[in-house]
Amino acid sequence: MGRLSLYRVRLTDTEADSLRKNVQHGTWLARNLIRARILLLSYDQPALSQSALAAQAGCSTAKVRRTWRRYTKDGLEAALHDQPRPGTPHRLTPEHEAFVIATACTDAPSGADHWTVSLLKQRLATQHNKNVGEETIRRVLLKNNLKPWLKKNVVHPQTGRPVH
């Protein structure tokens, strides 16, 4: 326990009260609630061993160590919440998205009644050498409130005539 003594939890009374309220209400994510429980148990019972604290909090001893370390090095908020994750990069650049939108707003190619997602995908692949899935194209269109597959073939309910 000699090395772990570097990681001491020293909450203020207001921080502890705030954590207790959040743990009781349970509005946080489960992982954040477990981290709050770890910090509260460490504050309330500082002599508690790692394994005993982990058993009471319902987690592993590694999680206890990580929470202590994050609290000591980066503060309370960093110990409770995850850092933002970068996620995967977008498959289409804004220029590619603009091309898809502009293409969807033009007349359909010969032999087609309207633009479909697969036709837009093929056009993007041939014009810009960019291969993406149909779902990516569909999301770009829906994000911009475009539904070229509904542009024609929609019948007005009262007149019975196609809407253009």
Report the pLDDT value the prediction gives residue 86, as an integer from 0 to 100. 87
Looking at per-residue confidence, does 7 or 43 come out higher? 43
Tell me which amino acid residue 144 is: N
- Of 80, 91, 96, 100, the closest CA to residue 148 belongs to 100
Rg (CA), the chain: 28
Report the pLDDT value the prediction gives residue 119, as an integer from 0 to 100. 93
- Of 90, 113, 120, the closest CA to residue 162 belongs to 113
Report the pLDDT value the prediction gives residue 100, as an integer from 0 to 100. 92
pTM of the model: 0.55
Report d(CA 140, CA 137) in Å as an integer.
5
Overall average pLDDT of the 72-90 stretch: 89
Report d(CA 32, CA 52) in Å as an integer.
19
pLDDT at 102 over 80: yes
